[in-house]
Amino acid sequence: MYTQFYRLHGEPFLLTPDHKFYFDSSVHSQAMAHLTYGINRGEGFIVITGEVGAGKTTLVKRLCALVDTQRILTAHVVTTQLDGADLLRMVATAFGLVDIPTDKSSILIRLQNFFEAALKHQCRALLIVDEAQNLPPAGLEELRMLSNFQVKNLAPFQSFLIGQPQFRAVLSSPDLEQLRQRVIATYHLGPMNRQECGEYVIHRLQQVGWRSDPSFGAEALDAIFTYTGGIPRRINTLCNRLMLLGYLDDLHHFTAEDVAKVAADLEAELSNASAYGGVKLPANDVLPGIEGNVLERVDGLERRLDRQEEFLKRIAVAVRDFLSYGDTDRG
């Protein structure tokens, strides 16, 4: 495995969001400032949007790791197409409530009692809703109704809504005018710039004990930015495959040509996957240009590729062990 080959104590480019790898780029710093502002205000909604793979979930996990748990009770939910009582039941479960009733009015009462009890202990409830673009207007209206709860002119509950760019179109619905009036700040999480992309790669490596092996030429880091557009998840996917290439080809220094080779392989795989899905990508379409539903299919492909890579690693180790055994036997 390349972690052993490069003497790392973990995999630096896992796709699973992990706040320990959080990188405070200019855009992520701005997004975090908006969330912190919301916590300090203690009321209303904060809306953060960003492309698939921009680092929204890592940002949320970082926030949850930093909040003062003695005064903020945090619940993080990932939504699907939930409506009415089902959404409220998910919220109640996220806050740790048990024996949740089935009817909506009873759930609302349980939540209100929970918020009031928390406030008596100098605590506020913060709900972070991930993938908020999946919520129908009726579900968002339920969240707005929860924000109406007050205890002695204090708001015991607030929500942060995190979603993909299309969530802004959802919020523009005439049916959500009252919710928009309660949004106190919004921010769109864009890609990192070229310099930050290179710093991000090195940052991820340093978190797992990297000691400049492998090294990256400046042109290689530029190429990583070119092929990923500065989107963290795309960087992770490309660099994970680059590290695997280094392990298999015994490389200790990466060049722009190495990056181009891996990017070409990924592009070919994505094109094949899109063809199987009934969508044909333009011949000149590379990673930065992939949008919308194609990226969702890419996410699924990335997970399959991870499993394939693990299989390849096992084969490589088995071959090396076999060859080493043969050499010993001949000796």
Distance CA 251, CA 213 (A): 9
Average pLDDT, the chain: 85
pLDDT at 289: 41
Whether 327 shows a pLDDT value over 90: the answer reads no
CATH architecture of 26-189: 3-Layer(aba) Sandwich (3.40)
Whether 248 shows a pLDDT value over 90: the answer reads yes
Evaluated on CA atoms 177, 182, 183, 185, the torsion sign reads positive
pTM of the model: 0.79
> Which is more confidently placed, 134 or 299?
134
Give residues with Cβ within 8 angstroms of 76, minimum separation 6: 60, 61, 64, 94, 128, 130
| pLDDT digit string, tens, across residues 122-139 | 899 999 999 999 998 888
Whether 309 shows a pLDDT value over 80: the answer reads no
Whether 324 shows a pLDDT value over 70: the answer reads no
Whether 311 shows a pLDDT value over 50: the answer reads yes
Task: Quote the longest CA-to-CA distance of the chain.
Answer: 84
At 304, is the secondary structure helix, strand, or coil? helix
pLDDT at 250: 94
Whether 153 shows a pLDDT value over 70: the answer reads yes
| pLDDT level of residue 276 (50, 70, 90 thresholds) | low
Backbone angles phi, psi at 160, to 5 degrees: -110, 125
Distance CA 96, CA 147 (A): 19
Which of 192, 172, 191 is closest to 183 using CA atoms? 172
Half-sphere exposure for 263 (CA within 13 Å, toward CB): 23
Whether the Cβ atoms of residue 245 and residue 251 lie closer than 8 Å to each other: yes
Domain boundaries, the chain: 26-189, 192-322
Instruction: Classify residue 319 by burial, with Cβ atoms within 10 Å: 0-12, 13-18, 19+.
Output: exposed
Whether 203 shows a pLDDT value over 90: the answer reads yes
| pLDDT level of residue 164 (50, 70, 90 thresholds) | very high
Q: Long-range CB contacts (< 8 A, 24+ apart) of 164-170?
A: 164/49, 164/50, 164/51, 164/52, 164/131, 164/133, 165/49, 165/50, 165/51, 166/133, 167/47, 167/49, 167/132, 167/133, 168/47, 168/49, 170/132, 170/133, 170/135, 170/137, 170/140
Percentage, residues of the chain above pLDDT 90 = 61
Q: What are the b/e assignments for 239-277, b being 16+ CB within 10 Å?
A: bbbbbbbbbeeebeebebebbeebbeebbebbbebbeee
Could you give the dihedral angle defined by the CA atoms of residues 321, 327, 330 and 331, in that order, rounded to the nearest 10 degrees?
A: -120
Whether 17 shows a pLDDT value over 80: the answer reads yes
Which of 250, 244, 293, 247 is closest to 266 using CA atoms? 244
| pLDDT level of residue 298 (50, 70, 90 thresholds) | very low
Whether the Cβ atoms of residue 181 and residue 43 lie closer than 8 Å to each other: no
| pLDDT digit string, tens, across residues 168-192 | 999 999 989 999 999 999 999 999 9
Whether 318 shows a pLDDT value over 80: the answer reads no
